[in-house]
Amino acid sequence: MDLKGRIKNAERIAVLTGAGISAESGIPTFRGADGLWKQFRAEELATPQAFQRDPKLVWEWYDWRRQKCAQAVPNPGHLALAELERIAPHFTLITQNVDGLHALAGSKHILELHGNIWRMRCVACEAMRESREPLGGELPHCDCGALMRPDIVWFGEALPQQVLSEAFSCARSAEVFLSVGTSAWVMPACQLPVVAKQSGAYVVEVNLEKTPISEMVDEAHHRKAGEILPSLLGVEI
Ligand code: BV8
Ligand code: ZN
Question: Whose CA is closest to atom 3 on ligand 1?
Answer: 158
Cα of 156 from ligand 1 centre, angstroms = 11
pLDDT tens string 177-224: 999 999 999 999 999 999 999 999 999 999 999 999 999 999 999 999
Task: Assess whether pLDDT exceeds 70 at residue 139.
Answer: yes
Ligand 1 pocket mutation pick from 186, 190, 194, 208 by most atoms within 8 angstroms of CB: 186
Residues 31 and 37 sit within 8 Å (Cβ to Cβ): yes
Which residue's CA is the closest to the ligand 1 atom numbered 67? 183
Name the pTM for this structure. 0.96
Task: Tell me the C-alpha distance between 16 and 71, whole Å.
Answer: 24
Which pLDDT score, from 0 to 100, does residue 136 have?
A: 86
pLDDT for position 42? 67
Find the helix or strand (DSSP H, E) in which 87 lies.
helix 76-87
Residue 141 per-residue DSSP state: B
Pocket of ligand 1 (CB under 6 A): 18-20, 23-24, 29-32, 35, 46, 96-98, 114, 152-158, 181-183, 185-188, 206-209, 211, 224-226
C-alpha distances in Å from residue 133, one per residue of 120, 127, 137: 12, 18, 12
What beta strand segments (E) does 19-138 contain? 90-95, 110-112, 115-122, 128-130
- Mean pLDDT value of segment 10-18: 98
Burial classification of residue 13, based on how many CB atoms lie within 10 Å of its CB (0-12 exposed, 13-18 middle, 19 or more buried): buried
Q: DSSP 3-state assignment of 131?
A: coil
| 25 CA from centroid of ligand 1 (Å) | 19
Q: Whose CA is nearest to atom 22 of ligand 1?
A: 186
With beta carbons less than 8 A apart as the criterion, state whether 14 and 174 touch: yes
* Minimum-distance ligand 1 atom for the alpha carbon of 188: 28
Phi then psi for residue 68, to 5 deg, are -60, -45
**pLDDT above 70: residue 38:** no
